[in-house]
Structure 1
Amino acid sequence: MISAPRIERACADAWPAQVDEPLGGWRLRAAGGFTGRANSALAVDDPGLPLSDALAAVCDFAHQHAISPMLQAVQNSPVERDLPRLGWRPCDGHAAGNDVAVLLGPAVPPDAAVPPAVDPRDIGRPPTDETVPDADPAGHRVEVLEEPTAGWWELTVGAPEPTDAARAVLTGGGPVGYGVVTGPGGTRAAVRGAVADGLLLVARLAVHPEHRRQGLARALMAAIGTWGVRHGAETCVLQVAADNTAALALYEGLGFREHHRYRYWTPCEDRTL
């Protein structure tokens, strides 16, 4: 059985903050405000301090790095159960949703298939005359690249050139693969995969609105999963807002099941200011 702390530590390694400092078994993270995961303290394991002192250290670290104090805690863990009495509350207004389901599934979903024109053995390899696939009948080409393209950035962060913080987080860790589906007109779908501790973290799956419901998400999951297996991953991890019913339905159909949930917490009153 894979534990929640192991999963969360691996996800932190696969989604690295610009600054990542240990506090006992906790991790204090900052990345210019880009994503909650990279700008919160990961509260798994023992911080080595009384909880009230550890929370004060979280606030001090946040102020030093010009971000709001925030804690990522596994739901119903001992740490989370103690937070309300110490003056912390859930970040219910968190932009990406504050009730996050962590899903586990096979690295390569059994019913997800790379389009026939693409040989899965060639995914992630430098293209040659022998390995470059022709486009499939719908004009799709699926690849996992070593470097993100402008089209990949556009779909995953909304701009062809990311901020320094976004670039640091999304190109850090490793190994990292950048899945893309391209066709006439440019990039149609994109995803990020990173391997840590034998787990493949898949994130930033996005399909252009004009090309949805064409099986591109499933094709990308197969492609990035095949890439992950080649880099030592046996299990895939996804983190999805618990109210994102469309995404949850897609992943359930690919064999994923909920393992645990986490939430972000913030102090009701920041006494360290």
Structure 2
Amino acid sequence: MRAAAGFTGRANSTLTCGDPGVPVPDALAVVKGFASEHGIKPAAHVVNGSAHEQAIADAGWHVDLDHPGGAESLVMTGLLEKFAEGEAGSHDLPGWWELTAGSEVSAAQRHVLGSGENVCFASISENGTVVAAVRGAVVEDLLHVARLAVRPSHRRKGLARQLMGELAGWGLRQGATTCALQVAEHNEPAIRLYSELGCTEHHRYRYWVPAVS
């Protein structure tokens, strides 16, 4: 169970994997209680086709079609050596936060994005302005990629590909061999980019929420 003041779906939902140890409706009741206690919307992070998906539906929950990031997301993975180029620096710049998180950065945002022992904030600047940014975090041999963003005025110039290559280089030097990233199913340009870098779909997931009573 995860709560972070509503910032991102993953950080404010209950991951449903394995046996909850109680009937699914009882487990979902605990999810609702946890959400109420932390002031967030109750949500279950469910892998498509997983063992408990039907039981969650039978309990009266439904896919959150209004989720800001889209109803369904892909998890893609790939080998870093296929697209690593150079090495990104770790730049915790104000412009990085403004581009990836907004003009006013909350404590929850800094906690979610800044936590971890091996985190990289990479960016590309032009005339003192951050025009592209990405976050990477290495856990064991896996590089988690998140918050890839390019300003609209600088898209279609290869900046996202450049950043991914630099981040992959950094990840290799930290001992990672594989990357994992999550992308909304409707974000076709991003999916195309990651596919061109050699990443493939590992699985999909959706957020489920209780029916409004």
TM-score bucket (shorter structure): over 0.9
Residue 144 (str. 1) matches residue 89 (str. 2): yes
Using the alignment, how far apart are the partners of 2:94 and 2:191 within structure 1?
Answer: 28
Residue 153 (str. 1) matches residue 126 (str. 2): no
2:189 is matched with 246
Using the alignment, how far apart are the partners of 1:33 and 1:180 within structure 2?
Answer: 25
TM-score (norm 2): 0.95
Letter in 2 for 1:262: Y
1:14-93 matches, within 5 Å, as: 28-93=1-66
Between structure 1 and structure 2, the one with the greater Rg is 1
Residue 184 (str. 1) matches residue 127 (str. 2): yes
Task: Describe the superposition over 1:78-124 as per-residue Cα deviations: whole angstroms up to 9, x where unpaired.
Answer: 111211111110001101112101101112443x64xxxxxx2xx3x
Using the alignment, how far apart are the partners of 1:221 and 1:163 within structure 2?
Answer: 26
Using the alignment, how far apart are the partners of 1:256 and 1:197 within structure 2?
Answer: 19
Report if aligned partners of 1:109, 1:222 keep a CA contact under 8 Å in 2.
no
Using the alignment, how far apart are the partners of 1:107 and 1:48 within structure 2?
Answer: 38
Using the alignment, how far apart are the partners of 1:151 and 1:171 within structure 2?
Answer: 15
Task: Describe the superposition over 1:192-250 as per-residue Cα deviations: whole angstroms up to 9, x where unpaired.
Answer: 00112421110100111222122111111011111111222111011000111111111
Match of 1:162 among 105, 116, 132: 105
Residue 173 of structure 1 and its aligned partner are, at CA, apart by 2.2
Residue 269 of structure 1 and its aligned partner are, at CA, apart by 4.0
Moved over 3 A (4+): none
Q: Secondary structure at the match of 1:144?
A: coil
Q: Percent identity?
A: 48
Using the alignment, how far apart are the partners of 1:84 and 1:256 within structure 2?
Answer: 31
Unmatched 5+ stretches in structure 1: 1-27, 114-119, 124-142
1:89-108 matches, within 5 Å, as: 89-108=62-81
TM-score (norm 1): 0.75
2:143 is matched with 200
1:22 is matched with none
Distance 1:240 1:69, change over 3 A: same
Using the alignment, how far apart are the partners of 2:65 and 2:22 within structure 1?
Answer: 27
